[in-house]
Amino acid sequence: MSDDPKPQANIEALIEAAQQARLHSVAPFSNFLVGAAVKTASGKVYTGCNVESASYGLTVCAERVAIWKALSELSEDERQFTELAVVADTETLTPPCGTCRQIIWEFARGARIVFANLKGAREEFHIGDLLPRAFDARFLKGTKITD
């Protein structure tokens, strides 16, 4: 691990952005507010919050909102994500759901992932640890993947 304080300061700022995004959650059914922030290689940060629907299956998690916002604004050559922070107000740090793990695998595979809560607890992961033996386009016939 590096003694350089800059990576730690960067993750602190990303966690703060996720905490602020959490405040915009639309969670009238669960009251479970989650915020996420994803950072690009160029340093741009995109945030997201969870948005619930009365038709529960249409609910969208904060991680997907942040990644989709970034994908919808960035050109293909700018879509390298370096860090992702997810913040929830839980005692035990909250990992992404299975659907979010899949989206992270496909679009932010190289990102440093940090789970945090409002009490200052945090833990860092790589998506390969959260989604071992992931499914992706390599398994689809006729699809070429460059990795």
- Would you name the residues annotated as active-site residues? 63
| Alpha carbon separation from 135 to 50, 99, 102, 105, 143 (Å, rounded) | 24, 12, 8, 9, 13
Question: Is the Cα dihedral 47, 84, 64, 122 positive or negative?
Answer: negative
* Radius of gyration for the chain, computed over Cα atoms and rounded to the nearest angstrom: 15
CA-based end-to-end distance of the chain: 26
Residue with tokens 């789970």: 115
Report DSSP state, residue 95: P
